[in-house]
Every structure is written in C-alpha cells, then in structure tokens.
Structure 1
C-alpha cells in the first residue's frame, strides 16, 4: 500500500485497512450496487448489510456512516489522482502533455463510476465531516502543485504570477467544478472540457499556450 493509500485509509476507515478484508469488500460492493439504483439519501445501511451478507453492526465496525463509506468507494479515484499528480509535479517533459494527462486521468476515473462520484457530491453537501476529509486529501495535492509551481518559476520555466499556493488551490477548484459538471452530464463535451482546463492550467502557470 502506497503512502497516499495509507493517508486516505486513515481518514476514511475506522479500522486499519486491509483491502483484502472480505467483509469490507462485500459491504463496499453492495453499497456500490445500490448507488447504481438509488441516491445516497435513499440507500440505507440495513440494505447494504443485507446484500453483503453481514450484520448491520459490521458496517459500523468499518465506517462511521454511509456518507463516509462513499469516500472508501472513491479510493481508486484518489489513487489515480495521486499517481497523475506525481507525474505532473516531476515537471519532466512537455508541460501541456503532463497537465492534459492529469486532467484526462481524473475524467477517466469519474467515467468509470459516475454514480459513485454523484454520491460523493451528495455526501459532501450533506455531511460536514466528509467535506472536511475531502478537503484534507485535496490539500495534499495543492501543496504538491504549489511546490512544483515554485520550482518551475525558480528554474525560469514558469512565469511570475499570483502566490503559488493560491494559484494551485484555484486550479484544483477548477478541476473539481469541471469534474462535477461532467459527472452530472452538463457543460462542454469531454474532450472540449479537458482541452479548456488544460489551456487554463498552462496559461496560469507558464503564461503560454505552447
């Protein structure tokens, strides 16, 4: 398990996470099935437990609430984002290609399970603790991006501009809102959306479209 996975697991699960835990896997599988049929509000823990073939108390052994359990379902997206961000902040190769790959990876993750991402949006809106956990995870990415911007400026590759931490936060806000619209089926088409986000990242950091 990578450091990113351990960090995410500590934030989400009540127990030390073993992704091979059969009861936990069964609960998340049942939860995922139900979210394909119902909204997060409509899903109840008793039905999750029944489908998983475990007791209701088993659910709470692992997760504080179904809203928090949504974050566990999003672990793959978090892992994908971690890997993509690692490639981005290494600042090797063509900047446009790096940025576009990161954005495309995020869209790919949401496209695999849009129902889960919609449940995440619902959980964040209804449960302050979930929003706080999500913000804590995203803050890690923002720190990495801000450090990359400072290095690129110091190396003469990026233009001077707003405070690096503020710029990183705003660019990640752009990603979040764009992915939310994509998950809801609104906004530009996928490729146009990715192209536009990439353009704004490149302009914001490097001051150029080339």
Structure 2
C-alpha cells in the first residue's frame, strides 16, 4: 500500500503477509531446511490448508519474500548504472552501501535464499535472472567506458568477468551476514570488494 492510503488490508492480504513475516522471524532462529509448512502456518496463525492457498511450499514463500527484498534493493539503489558525472569509486561505494544495508535488514531471508539455491529450482532460477539483469546493466556501462578509454578490464571476456565479480560479491555479502561480522569487519569487506572491482575493470586508483 502507498503512504497515505487508508484502505485496510483484506483478510487474505493479512494472512499472506502474516505468513511471509512469520517465515522471516523463524528463519532468524533456524535454517530453511529445518522448518516445516505446519510450523510456519502456526506461527502466522493460519491453518495448514490456508497456507497452501497462498503458497505451494516453504520455498515458494521464501521465493516471494526474496523477490520483495530484491524490489526494495532496486528502489533504494535507484540505478546500478553510473551517472555521467559519477566517479567510479563513488558509484561502487553508493551501490555497495545500499546493498549491504538491505542485507543487514533482511539477512535471515537472504541467507536462507542463498542456501536454498541447490534445493529449489525456482529460487535458483530467480537468482540467475537477477544476476543476468544486473550483469547486463554493468556490462553495458563497462563497454562504454572501454570505448572512452576509461576502463581496461583484466580480461577481454567482459561478460564472464562481470558475472564472476558479481558471484564473488554476492558470496562476500552472504559470508559477512552469515558470520555476523562487526561494523568494522563489514567496512573492510566492502573496501576489499570495491578494490577488486576497481582493479579488475577500471584499474586501481581510477
């Protein structure tokens, strides 16, 4: 609902929201593999049959919750494309700051979603689609930078290089929240990731 919208949620909307919120709460204490639909439904205050009216499995609910978080990230970042006057290092810092904030706020769901990739085809496919979309945006920008003489990638295979860097970055964010790193440890991780991107694509110090 939009800010200022006084329309009350329908019973169905409330139940669906309760299921997603309860799933997030339970994931803060136990991994997705240990949870059952019955437990999630009970925590949400709905019948098991009611749960299946909205979601076909615990992984389908997790997929919806992850999709909501991804949409939130896209809203916060506004653009993963660098603006004309934006310095590369500032662009990397801006997008990293928004991304790690989202990871901090939704770490239980995101950790579970990453762990579910080998267990659920839908979630695996979702992450692949998102990574391809993000790769496409970044590759387009990098190719323009190469043409302008602003980038000199460490590999001529730019698409594969970008996909590898994104996989590395995702793993670092996942590991950071899985290990519950301190603010200082997270800052050092982000600095390291930024340095790797700079050196791999644009050249250190640019």
Q: What range is the shorter-chain TM-score in?
A: 0.7 to 0.9
Alignment correspondent of 2:60: 68
* 1:59 to 2:51 alignment: yes
Assess, with a 3 A threshold, how the Cα gap between structure 1 residues 32 and 84 changes in structure 2: closer, same or farther: closer
Shift of 1:85: 6.0
SS in 2 for 1:121: helix
Instruction: Please tell me whether the aligned partners of residues 85 and 141 of structure 1 are also in contact (alpha carbons under 8 angstroms).
Output: no
Q: Which deviates more from structure 2 when the two are superposed, residues 40-49 or residues 126-135?
A: 126-135
Assess, with a 3 A threshold, how the Cα gap between structure 1 residues 158 and 80 changes in structure 2: closer, same or farther: farther
Shift of 1:27: 0.9
Q: Which deviates more from structure 2 when the two are superposed, residues 38-47 or residues 151-160?
A: 151-160
Alignment correspondent of 1:196: 192
Alignment correspondent of 1:13: none
Shift of 1:50: 2.2
* Partners of 1:124 and 1:77 in 2: CA distance: 16
* 1:172 to 2:166 alignment: yes
* Partners of 2:13 and 2:162 in 1: CA distance: 36
Instruction: Please tell me whether the aligned partners of residues 147 and 164 of structure 1 are also in contact (alpha carbons under 8 angstroms).
Output: no
* Partners of 2:143 and 2:78 in 1: CA distance: 16
SS in 1 for 2:33: coil
How far does the alpha carbon of each residue in 1:127-168 deviate from its partner, in whole angstroms, 9 at most, with x for none? 233212211222111111111111222223222542221122
Q: TM-score, normalised by structure 1?
A: 0.80
Alignment correspondent of 1:44: 36
In structure 2, which of residues 93, 97, 105 is the aligned counterpart of residue 104 of structure 1? 97
How far does the alpha carbon of each residue in 1:35-94 deviate from its partner, in whole angstroms, 9 at most, with x for none? 122221221111222222323233233333212322222234312442466533134311
* Partners of 2:77 and 2:145 in 1: CA distance: 15
Alignment correspondent of 2:115: 122
Q: Superposition RMSD on alpha carbons, in Å?
A: 2.5
Q: Which deviates more from structure 2 when the two are superposed, residues 62-71 or residues 131-140?
A: 62-71
